[in-house]
Chains A and B, each alone.
Chain A
């Protein structure tokens, strides 16, 4: 395509969603994805090596063992799914330190991006997440958080009410399984909710009683999920089935179109695009039900008809039906072409790395550019583009307020030997049951001025151990175990589970992404440098949550199954354990002095450039960001279509 209306860099929940909506609305769209279409082999029919009957006519043709290789998907280097072969980031814990290359902060570099290997935990944000500043002002904690502790906690420029109809549609695209009433009740029964409900702003923050049902029935409870459920209930918490982006096992299949129809009937988003019938919006494809094979998070789902949700099996698949859209893989974008005279972007320069030893420079011209590379790589691309300070960076805001959630925070419990083979970590994806009880936690631990107040944390979720090879390899390399000690460690892994707290790391200007001044990638481009440290809120969190997480195990302690000190370990978050949850770096706000994009995700200083992935998040929630990313892409895409239909320019 010579000149596209929109050049979209990245194909995950943000880029993959908005590219579909814009193309469906008639715009000419080109999607540039730096990785390959890793799932393409799944489209090929291969004989099932497990089929001994020689029956190649039916089911055997549907199975391809390629994505079920634990080594390839968890251990192999160069990493085939996250990093291009010559790529890396650097990390430092303060601006005073030298950054060093490290292996973190990559989401997937494949068609579908992070949405192809994500864990499918599918939460929508709560109304309070959009009004965190208002909340802490109401409780009198804002000054401490901002003036004393150095955080910058804005309200979102958009409200929960604006997002809600798009959340409904996003959940249909992601085929979220769950129990809405149970989730609502669990939230409302949580101690923090009971405490906050008396605050004046609280009920106006948004709809705390959503009644649009999840499009799929809840995912089956597994033994690991049941361990958490029983323990949490005994502790006085309120466990619920984890909302999951999976077509529920046992269902006859998932008809996205029908579910979109229900969402439109329930609360139709404003705008001409959504006035169309569902038949016009979506094809009649039927997605198949999950078969609980257990290769989900970090793996490709091998089900051809997409049991596991993600852009590649939904919006990208629909996009491929359209004549006005083009997808280019192996397209490593390195510059948004910027015309300083007009202050407009005119396209994207990229390397075709199909043959990475002999890359070719390409240019895709476009009237608008949408950046959706993940919060780390989006910031890097902007900083490598435009004026010397970077595109959208007139006020030195690009890359700031990076948030990654508190990965590593949780407890690990190892059950005694009689539970060998009982947990069945293989059923479905890693998470199974969850609770909102720790979305905010009360300081009943310290004797300082934080005592008695509620501080932001996140959801706690049961997590199965699913990768025995990766574990064994880690024990071998990390602890030099061989022979019986290694086998003992491998046995214990099978009886181990986690309760993870997906806690918020609140935004601070000094936690940022910029261009590393020294280190470059294979093609000589500066790599992204991440500067991150935990602030007082996170340090406090490590003190407060341990006892609350351990309470989940009290039931099993009482029954003589576990001993807290021996069998249950608490882990604080690890500062350089940075994965798919990348947020901030291109903060959304009304003031160009303190934000990068406006409420419609346009760069303040280059309004024909949009940033549509999680980079725009002003705050990070305490839950997986995928549903919000998809919902926001729908919201922004809808705004673009409306502006266009009204004859209003986008810039």
Chain B
């Protein structure tokens, strides 16, 4: 399995990730719950008889591959932040920043705190800013080992596998590994959510908004409404709340 930039995920890894995404969310069981909210539009392809609704329908893995590519610059930023952390005044434009600091009563030894400030997305165990592609590259062999072990004893229960990863409970992914499996699965689930709710996935138009439609969320890129739409919605609310006849 390879996940270098510009080198797409292997078919094998794509399959694993599609299955893991399915196990993370359980979309099919959710939309088939009898008591679940029913969207007003009944003509929804993911609810079609015989269809099993999974994140694969939403093209989350092609989206994920694009995300790996477009966020790869974080590795360069990590190098930069490492340089600044080692020498926080290195890029100062002041002619003598040490003297300038002394004159203002500031500490002799400055620090660069960008990572604890939270203005970076991912870090490694040492606190270095890394890109998604670097983060996941550490995970693929471990994930492969977990899946491989389960495949040897029968069909994989992907929901159970997802739970085990979340709980750092997969023996093939030792708790001492970096990153631990929980960190991996949370990041992966986060990226899947972006694919499913962010509406940037390459899925066909109606499918892009499937999860939002199932949640009763109507905002989407390009939407627009009129005053009358708000008025109709207010009336529906008042009727349901017993505020009007």
Which residues of A are in contact with B by a Cβ distance under 8 Å? 48-50, 52, 63, 65, 68-71, 75-79, 83, 85-90, 100-103, 220-223, 226-227, 230, 249-250, 291-295, 334, 351, 357, 359, 361, 383-384, 388, 390, 417-428, 466, 468-469, 472-473, 476-477, 480, 482-484, 486-487, 490-491, 493-494, 515, 517-527, 556, 559, 561
Contact = CB atoms under 8 A, between A and B. Distances in A.
A76 B121 contact: yes
A63 B233 contact: no
Given A484-B26, A520-B112, A50 B162 contact: no
A572 to B, nearest CB: 22
Contacts of A522: 80, 84, 91, 112, 114
A60 B240 CA distance: 37
Given A230-B243, A483-B25, A468 B197 contact: yes
Interface string B75-98: 001001100100011111110010
A494 B215 CA distance: 7
B231 interface: yes
A30 B77 CA distance: 31
CB-based closest 10 A-B pairs: A421-B216, A524-B92, A88-B117, A426-B219, A101-B113, A291-B224, A101-B117, A68-B221, A420-B37, A223-B237
A71 B111 contact: no
Contacts of A556: 241
Contact of B77 (A70, A85, A419, A427): A85
B215 A491 contact: yes
Interface of B: 23-26, 29-30, 35, 37, 39-40, 77, 80-81, 84, 88-94, 97, 101, 103-107, 109-114, 116-121, 159, 162-163, 166, 182, 185-186, 189-190, 193-194, 197-200, 205, 212, 215-227, 229-231, 233-234, 236-238, 240-243
B157 to A, nearest CB: 12
B193 A473 contact: yes
Given A249-B227, A419-B240, A473-B193, A524 B219 contact: no
A68 B111 CA distance: 36
A461 to B, nearest CB: 17
Contacts of A359: 91, 93
B91 A77 contact: no
B94 A524 contact: yes
Contact of B25 (A102, A351, A418, A487): A487
Given A292-B225, A487-B25, A222 B198 contact: no
B190 A490 contact: no
B240 A77 contact: no
A482 B24 contact: yes
6 contacts: A52-B205, A90-B113, A292-B225, A426-B225, A427-B233, A494-B215
Given A419-B240, A421-B37, A422-B236, A524 B88 contact: yes
B223 to A, nearest CB: 6
Contact of B113 (A71, A83, A88, A484): A88
B107 A424 contact: no
Contacts of B230: 220-222, 249, 292, 424, 427-428
Contact of B233 (A48, A222, A249, A361): A222
Given A85-B119, A102-B117, A250 B84 contact: no
A486 B225 contact: no
A514 to B, nearest CB: 10
> Which of B106, B114, B189, B242 has the most CB atoms of chain A within a 10 A radius of its CB?
B114
B92 A476 contact: no
Given A71-B194, A359-B91, A468-B212, A86 B114 contact: yes
A398 to B, nearest CB: 13
Contact of B110 (A417, A487, A520, A559): A520
Which of A490, A556, A559 counts the most B-chain CB atoms under 10 A from its CB?
A490
Contacts of A88: 113-114, 117-119
Nearest to A221: B234
Contacts of B39: 421
B111 A520 contact: yes
Contacts of A351: 93
A91 to B, nearest CB: 10
A101 B114 contact: yes
B118 to A, nearest CB: 4
A230 to B, nearest CB: 6
B88 A520 contact: yes
Contacts of B240: 418-419, 422
Contacts of A76: 121
A220 B199 CA distance: 27
A226 B205 CA distance: 32
A70 B196 CA distance: 12
Nearest to B162: A482
Nearest to B26: A483
B79 to A, nearest CB: 10
A515 B104 contact: yes
B169 to A, nearest CB: 13
B172 to A, nearest CB: 20
Contact of B163 (A249, A383, A482): A482
A473 B186 CA distance: 9
A499 to B, nearest CB: 16
Given A476-B189, A517-B105, A483 B163 contact: yes
A483 B24 contact: yes
A517 B224 CA distance: 49
B119 A78 contact: yes
A69 B200 contact: yes
Given A78-B120, A490-B215, A522-B91, A291 B198 contact: no
Given A420-B216, A426-B218, A83 B119 contact: yes
B218 A424 contact: yes
A23 to B, nearest CB: 29
Nearest to A52: B205
Contacts of B231: 220-221
B234 to A, nearest CB: 5
Nearest to A357: B80
A361 B93 contact: yes
Contact of A77 (B93, B106, B116, B121): B121
A556 B80 CA distance: 55
A518 B107 contact: yes
Contacts of B237: 223, 226-227, 419, 422-423
A578 B73 CA distance: 29
A361 B91 CA distance: 11
Given A79-B119, A524-B92, A519 B193 contact: no
Nearest to A226: B234
Contacts of B121: 76-78
B219 A102 contact: no
A472 B26 CA distance: 15
Given A293-B224, A484-B26, A524-B94, 8 more contacts: A75-B194, A77-B120, A421-B215, A422-B236, A486-B25, A491-B216, A494-B216, A519-B113
A486 B223 CA distance: 26
Contacts of A292: 224-227, 229-230
A88 to B, nearest CB: 3
B202 to A, nearest CB: 11
A487 B30 contact: yes
A49 B203 CA distance: 12
A526 B106 contact: yes
Contacts of B197: 70, 468-469, 472
